[in-house]
Amino acid sequence: MQCLFCKVDNDKVVNSRTSVDGLSIKRRRECLSCGRRYTTYERIEENPLRVVKKDGTREPFDRKKILSGLLKACEKRPVSTDTLENIVNEIEREIYNKFDREVTSSFIGSLVMQKLRILDAVAYVRFASVYREFKDISEFIDELKPLMTGAKKKKKTMGAATPAVYLFNIRPEGNGA
Ligand SMILES: [Zn+2]
């Protein structure tokens, strides 16, 4: 760190102390060029990541919202809360790695979709139907098709997509609406 007095960037930390509240670290530094000492404070970045919503408004990033969306999508599904917590952690990590100020809600939504798609077909469709705001039933069926093909391949194993179709009372070949 650049010396407060001689501006040379060559110092050593003489001692470090965490503040009482644990939110900052006070460091006593000694400039190896001029020998003077000064203090720096290190604290967590206080500008939280913000989420840009579809209408352009912003709100602080909140992992609890992702979790509650997941919980809703996975209601009565064989998915543990631990699994969902892990997904939220993964998503949060990915977001913080890629963005430092703002992230769009649609980016977060697409991450959630990716995870749910692998995890549970019913939860995926539930989430997608809310998040994607399908314009009509055919769009919705397009979203279901890949899942149904997957289920057919598995044959007698409990086709994951089947409950989704049942749940939403959609007949892929019929005039569902
Ligand atoms: Zn100095």
The model's pLDDT over 83-92, given as tens digits with 9 standing for 90+, comes to 999 999 999 9
H/E stretch holding 58: strand 58-60
Q: Is it the case that residue 100 has pLDDT exceeding 60?
A: yes
CA 121 to ligand 1 center in whole angstroms = 62
Q: Where are the domains of the chain?
A: 11-43, 134-177
pLDDT at 115: 93
Q: Is it the case that residue 160 has pLDDT exceeding 60?
A: no
**H helices present in the chain, as ranges:** 63-73, 81-98, 105-119, 121-131, 137-153, 161-168
CA 12 to ligand 1 center in whole angstroms = 11
Per-residue pLDDT reduced to its tens digit, 14-52: 999 988 777 789 999 999 999 999 999 888 766 778 999
CA 51 to ligand 1 center in whole angstroms = 42
pLDDT averaged over every residue in the chain: 81
CA 1 to ligand 1 center in whole angstroms = 10
Q: Is it the case that residue 158 has pLDDT exceeding 80?
A: no
In percent, the amount of the chain with pLDDT more than 90 equals: 51
CA 141 to ligand 1 center in whole angstroms = 68
In percent, the amount of the chain with pLDDT more than 70 equals: 74
pLDDT at 6: 95
Cβ neighbour number for residue 28 with a 10 Å cutoff: 14
CA 3 to ligand 1 center in whole angstroms = 5
CA atoms within 13 A on the CB side of 119: 25
DSSP-derived letter for residue 12 is E
